[in-house]
Structure 1
């Protein structure tokens, strides 16, 4: 076989192999692009974790995004890929296992230590400045923890700014 035909056959098989790998979920064309142009690689520093809700990964929403109003199936992922004419277009991949990731359970007997909570949505404190609740209280409200007693807890729970905990006030007596 002449070198030109061998090269053509090799290119066809390479494209077919890449297409099959893409269809199976492996980012073959991205890997090829990065191998051909190593200068486009950049390191991505992970965001600094904080107690702000924006820093909590919403795993319960993975595959739950709706791409159109009539779309009701969970487990769909939206992405981009190049078609045969080298045009980029969006595509949707249905992955049933992603529909199973998030679930909600309600338990009347559940309790927790508030210092274990992350993902506060609102506060007068700058939530992005703190990696845990203890840091926030020590920096912004040391008077709230000047004494660790039931009386101090009841005083803190009675504060007008703690509206969400009003129902718990009666339990702490």
Structure 2
């Protein structure tokens, strides 16, 4: 008991003089706090692509009254130990995503790599060819112009049979072109399969959306904050909060886009000495730098 009390006193003195001893101890005792992003191998579903352009305005956060704000904890006069909830308005975060739209974009059927909808489990397949070979062999049983025409005539391929219905979409960090469809995936995939083997072009046209990351907004964010990825598990977050409270350092946090529901983003203001010290510790402990990660994928 005496030893524990002595360690507590030493830790308190260290924190008073600018060393976040509680945080250092937490990192040593809770390795699960450091939980970097993992880029999973993807199938041909657009839903598998991480929607980084929505990071600043996630749909499951839009009901909150603090839209466009970062929420966290820091010096708050009158709160317990003068440490409580704080928020800061950040329009750069709200504007982090970009969307460019081309009304009449042209491509060939071979340029399309995936779908938004299908009766097949799109995430199980690495290509359209693999999907149609497994689930729709009858659509590719003849490699002939007639079979190609038969598949292309399927009414549910609405990028062909309708105007302003289905559309194309790309996420710049992913690079692939998806057909955002409401049907016809197997006939479309079969058409692509046959056309490739016949060496026949199938021109397509339609609306095209390209989602990206606003580099100016990202530069603004990373100028003012060090941004890290860590576990969002409640025990890890409670431990981190207590360590930050003990050190009296400001931090903000935010959810990440799906599928990263087990992680969160932590924003540490560079202008605040104690927060900057925490960032130094997290860098030294190899926590993932989300700002660097986003800069990297924004140039892909």
TM-score when normalising by structure 1 = 0.58
- Check conservation: 2:44, 2:123, Cα contact below 8 A: yes
Partner of 2:125: 130
CA deviation map 1:90-146 (0-9, x unaligned): 85662616614322221414324356333x232121212112222112211233333
- Check conservation: 2:53, 2:96, Cα contact below 8 A: no
Partner of 2:28: 35
Partner of 1:50: 43
Q: Which has the higher strand share?
A: 2
Partner residue of 1:116 out of 97, 112, 115? 112
- Check conservation: 2:155, 2:161, Cα contact below 8 A: no
Q: Supply the distance in 2 between the matched residues of 1:39 and 1:61 (Cα, whole angstroms).
A: 26
How many angstroms does 1:88 deviate by? 8.7
Partner residue of 2:92 out of 93, 96, 111? 96
CA deviation map 1:62-103 (0-9, x unaligned): 212354476665xx566x658885999685662616614322
How many angstroms does 1:52 deviate by? 2.2
Which is worse superposed, 124-133 or 88-97? 88-97
Q: Supply the distance in 1 between the matched residues of 2:85 and 2:134 (Cα, whole angstroms).
A: 49
Q: Supply the distance in 2 between the matched residues of 1:137 and 1:43 (Cα, whole angstroms).
A: 35
Partner residue of 1:13 out of 8, 17, 39? 17
Q: Supply the distance in 2 between the matched residues of 1:143 and 1:70 (Cα, whole angstroms).
A: 53
How many angstroms does 1:55 deviate by? 0.8
Q: Would you say 1:143 and 2:138 are equivalent positions?
A: yes
Aligned-partner SS, 2:107: coil
Aligned-partner SS, 1:111: strand
Q: Supply the distance in 1 between the matched residues of 2:67 and 2:33 (Cα, whole angstroms).
A: 38
Pair member with larger Rg? 1
Q: Supply the distance in 1 between the matched residues of 2:93 and 2:37 (Cα, whole angstroms).
A: 27
Partner of 1:60: 53
How many angstroms does 1:37 deviate by? 2.6
Structure 2 residue runs without a partner (length 5+): 1-7, 164-202, 205-300
Quickly say closer, same or farther: Cα 1:111–1:61, change in 2 above 3 A: same
CA RMSD in angstroms, aligned pairs only: 4.4
- Check conservation: 1:63, 1:77, Cα contact below 8 A: no
TM-score when normalising by structure 2 = 0.37
- Check conservation: 1:52, 1:127, Cα contact below 8 A: yes
Aligned residue pairs: how many? 151
